[in-house]
Amino acid sequence: MKKCPNCRREIEENSTFCEYCGHQIKRSKKGLWIALAAGAVVTVAVILVISLSGRSNSVVTKHFYDSKKYYALIEDLIDDASTCDELENAADDLEDRILDDVWDLDEITEKEKDQLKKIADDLTKKVKKKADKMGCDVYIDGWDYWSSDNDDLDSGTDWDSDSGW
């Protein structure tokens, strides 16, 4: 990671713009060639992994790593929340991610499910702790959906049968 020369927040090494302040990051040509070479190596490695493993393994890994990245972004939102509304928005994002993971349980292994549940549980506790500290009334609905005995999820019925979903 490197720091934005404008706002001094950490950004990805190969960023062309700061995701926080929008400042354009200038890279040297040497760095560009290194990045292109590294990208080519990663691309070849990904193609090899996909070709050597079954399709389901690549899908499982993609969902798991996408979820982990999303949880990291949510953690930043929680940390940066300075008002109850901002904290509630972060909690809503967390709830949405939890529900996405629950709906896609067939795309993750049991080990990955346990890891994602732990991350989500830790973030839920973090939200509750910060809400208590700030005097906010924030509730994260959806956490109970991780359990396999939830009738709504297992029944295969739609959430809103009147809407035609």
76-105 residue pLDDT tens: 999 999 999 999 898 888 888 888 888 877
CA-CA distance, 125 to 65, in Å (whole number)? Answer: 22
Which helix (H) or strand (E) element contains residue 64? helix 55-80
Phi-psi group of 12: left, alpha or beta (phi > 0 → left; psi -120 to 50 → alpha; rest → beta): beta
- Residue pair 146/140 in contact (Cβ under 8 Å)? The answer is no
Cα–Cα distance for residue pair 24/101, rounded to 1 Å: 35
Give me the residues of the chain with pLDDT under 70, please: 27-36, 48-61, 141-165
Predicted local confidence at residue 79, as pLDDT: 93
User: What pLDDT, on a 0 to 100 scale, did the predictor assign at position 54?
Assistant: 47
pTM of whole model > 0.75?
no
